[in-house]
Amino acid sequence: MTPRLWCCLLLSTTLLAFVAVSHGQEADVTATSLCRKMTNCSACIAGGPLCAWCKEQITDVKEEQSRHRCDVLANHLKGGCAQVDIVNPDHDINPTKDTPPRSGSMTEKPIQLSPQEMKIKVRPNKPVNFKVHFKLAENYPVDLYYLMDMSRSMNIHREKLAALGVKISNEMAAITEDFRLGFGSYVDKVTMPYVSIYAPKLNNPCSESDKCAAPYGYRHELSLTNDAKIFSEKVLATPISGNLDVPEGGFDAVVQAVVCEKQIGWRNPSRKLLILSSDSGVHLAGDGYLAGIVRPNDLNCHMDADNYYTESLNQDYPSISQVREVLQNKDVVLIFAVTQNQFNVYKELSDFFPNSLTGELKNDSSNVVQLIKEVYQNISSQVELKTNSTEGISFKFRSECLGTKKMNTNKCLGLKTGQSVTFDVEMTVTQCPKDPTQKSRVVEISPGGGLGEKLVLNLEFMCECDCELPANEVPLSPLCEGQGTYQCGICQCDAGFAGRRCECETDKESTEALDAQCRRPNSTDLTICSNKGQCICGACTCLPDYRGPLCECNDFSCDNFEDQLCGGPTRGTCVCGKCVCNEGYSGNACSCPESKENCIASSGEECNGYGQCVCGVCQCRLESGHSGPTCEDCPTCPGLCEETKLCVQCTAFNSGEYSPEYCKANCTNIEMVPDVQKYSDEKIKFCQFKDDDDCEFYYNYEYVGNKKNIYIKVQQTKACPAQANVLAIVLGVIAGIVAIGLAILLIWKILTTINDRREFAKFEKEREQAKWDTAENPIFKQATSTFKNPTYEGQKS
């Protein structure tokens, strides 16, 4: 390695180390400031991950006042607090149930998520890190409950579903050996305006020629079973019904099918799939008001002995959020299998539900088998970790999924049977429970997708120090003048006493008097010590960085300019929260220089006459179009050449758009001279234009006094282009055309002559090489033909 490369490497390493140290120091300063605000041990350990409490017994009052009981660990060790006296608890993670993932069998339930249970002692505001493993198991149980709209228009779909029951079971058997089917049906609430309550129509909502069953809200037809034939028979035996309006009571049926676990037969663990099949929309919360049903849905199971939903006429339809709640709580995946005309409606609805999907049925439901298979494969090939964490607990997930780069995600796609993924979980308790008696909480992490598995986290909050427990307290301690309890190195004074050693004797009357001494006199502000300190024995003991009789002054809270308080010592000083600026500076942060030196333009004017100097910087007027440090830039201005052109034309040459009267009244300071300067410099500017006769005229202008007064010098003579000889041009063009024509004819004649000579030479050569037989014409044929009889021998003599 060359010396230059060594040098570069050393320099980059040094810079990285410097940046790391700088960030570390900045973090330490922030943590130190945060920790030192805490006044007791429990608040200290909950204040931040770097905060620690020193419970060392300090007998010297002056030392006690100079020490911070709550500080970062490094400061405690540096200040002399012994390690044994430092309260700085850390997490304790104990997996209480951690069975490795396995496939299902006749004797064992399948397990895909591990661990299954953990006990964690967690410190607030300090992240806890652990791993969660997921492996897609073979033969994982699948429970599929098919919920069908039994209105008249769904009859063809019912018949097709009954015919395909066995095929559904066979197709799913190729995926898992543990598959069960169930069936339920629904129509709508049996009341107006959803269903006709006219007696004949109530018994037969269809036409007289088409017999239908009486309508009902929801009916559970078949509990989950592995017998596909029974499923088909039950589907076919369920009669068609009807109603009046287009939307149906599908969400009433969904809620009951999910929460009535015992009646439906949902297993745990299993992948729970609920298919809603319909060719119409659904009623939502509030639609029940049309029938006078105003009681909200309570999301509980209401099913009688005949498996009918009993609260259909007493409770409103569930809302989208309620359906989402029950699906999420019971780990059920809702799949919409709907006709084309309803696909977009249900597609939007599925976005509100966890892992929900929408599939399009053909007109006769012939593709229902393929739809179920595709939807299941889509759901089962992904895992998404979710939590039921409540307020005060946050989670972050990271994973490499299937060989990808580790990223912040709680979801992995494309899993196949036997493949596993690992998630790195970071959990942070951001605050202690408001109720101090609630020292624990149970949080669950689940893979979703209707699996029913979960990791249970039994959390125990470290919101109280051991030294604060009653067994470790010293009531009426001599260290507290016998007037308080010694706890974690500080005194908790009894009623009527105050101070670091409970040395201040206060009764009700004197306490008010002492507090009054720590408040602003004759003011409605009742805060004590400006909320920046403690009132001890009638005097304010201020927090660090604060001073004054009422802790009202902070010499470090002024505005910053260029990352320095009050712009630094050269500009001003921070006094009691306000900047006292040095001579020549002003502003809240002494950021404004009073000198206008930087605002003077090249013309000598302040901001070029188009703005105002504020804090040493030009603020140009927007309407002027000028910009730049001294308002001298004007990209949209036409320029003085354009502005003075018409005046020069009318004054010097009696041309242009201005009338003589206007010209005489408004065009001044124009002088005719023999010659002008043909270039621009700092003082004199050169202008050049074409006049109405196509002749060019030239002039100079220069400033006199300021930008708004100029003096113009115009060259007396114009530069006119020479007149063209029209006759010569016409004759020349004609001669050129003739010459070009003759040249073209000559070239054509030369080319044709060359070609003729080549053809003649070729003919002569072929004639010389020809060899003809002069004795006979090769194409001549005799006019007679001679034939001989093979059996004729001629006459014998």
Mind listing the pLDDT tens digit for each residue in 238-254?
A: 998 888 888 899 999 99
Alpha helix stretches (DSSP H) within 137-227:
155-163, 165-173, 199-203
Distance set, CA 80 to CA 29, 54, 68 (Å):
19, 10, 12
CA gap 287, 316 in Å, rounded: 7
Indicate the helix (H) or strand (E) that contains 421. strand 420-429
Q: Where are the domains of the chain?
A: 18-88, 92-138+385-461, 142-381, 560-593, 640-715
Sequence-separated (6 or more) residues with CB below 8 Å from residue 670: 647, 648, 651, 652, 712, 714
The CATH H-level (homologous superfamily) assignment of domain 560-593 is: Laminin (2.10.25.10)
Residue-level pLDDT at 723: 73
- Residue 85: DSSP 8-state: G
Closest Cα partner for 465 from 48, 42, 121?
42
pTM of the shown model: 0.56
Cα 441–Cα 443–Cα 445 angle in degrees, nearest 5 = 170
Closest Cα partner for 273 from 200, 172, 174, 155?
172
Rounded to a whole number, what is the distance in angstroms from the first to the last CA of the chain? 129
Burial class (CB in 10 A: 0-12, 13-18, 19+), 175: middle
Q: Which residue has the tokens 């220089």?
A: 593
Sequence-separated (6 or more) residues with CB below 8 Å from residue 290: 193
In CATH, what class is 640-715? few secondary structures
Sequence-separated (6 or more) residues with CB below 8 Å from residue 289: 316
Sequence-separated (6 or more) residues with CB below 8 Å from residue 352: 320, 321, 324
Q: How many CB atoms lie within 10 A of CB 747?
A: 10
CA gap 501, 707 in Å, rounded: 78
Give the residue ranges of the chain where pLDDT is below 70.
1-29, 61-66, 106, 364-365, 449-450, 507-515, 524, 526, 635-639, 682, 704-708, 770-781, 792-797
CA gap 27, 74 in Å, rounded: 13
CA gap 551, 543 in Å, rounded: 8
Residue-level pLDDT at 451: 74
Q: Which fold has domain 142-381?
A: Rossmann fold (3.40.50)
Q: Strand, coil or helix: what is 623? A: helix
Sequence-separated (6 or more) residues with CB below 8 Å from residue 734: none
CA gap 277, 280 in Å, rounded: 9
How is domain 92-138+385-461 classified at the architecture level of CATH?
A: Sandwich (2.60)
Tokens representing 188?
């709508």
How is domain 18-88 classified at the architecture level of CATH?
A: 2-Layer Sandwich (3.30)
Residue-level pLDDT at 750: 94
Distance set, CA 707 to CA 456, 598, 701, 710, 730 (Å):
81, 19, 11, 7, 53
Question: Would strands 142-149 and 179-186 be described as parallel, antiparallel, or unpaired?
Answer: parallel
CA gap 644, 663 in Å, rounded: 11
CA gap 274, 257 in Å, rounded: 8
Residue type at position 468: E
Phi, psi angle pair for 122, to nearest 5°: -115, 135
| Per-residue H/E/C for 711-760 | EEEEECCCECCCCCCHHHHHHHHHHHHHHHHHHHHHHHHHHHHHHHHHHH
Identify whether the C-beta of residue 458 lies closer than 8 Å to the C-beta of residue 440.
yes
Sequence-separated (6 or more) residues with CB below 8 Å from residue 607: 599, 601, 613, 618, 619, 620, 630, 631
- Residue 248: DSSP 8-state: B
CA gap 283, 194 in Å, rounded: 10
CA gap 673, 518 in Å, rounded: 86
Alpha helix stretches (DSSP H) within 331-455:
343-350, 368-380
137 — alpha (psi -120 to 50), left (phi > 0) or beta? beta
Distance set, CA 664 to CA 659, 661, 668, 672 (Å):
9, 5, 8, 15
Cα 695–Cα 700–Cα 701 angle in degrees, nearest 5 = 135
- Residue 474: DSSP 8-state: B
E-state strands within 596-705: 611-614, 617-620, 670-673, 684-690, 696-704
pLDDT in tens, 19-58: 344 444 444 667 787 887 888 898 898 888 889 999 988 8
Distance set, CA 31 to CA 50, 163, 184, 367 (Å):
7, 70, 60, 63
Phi, psi angle pair for 480, to nearest 5°: -110, 30
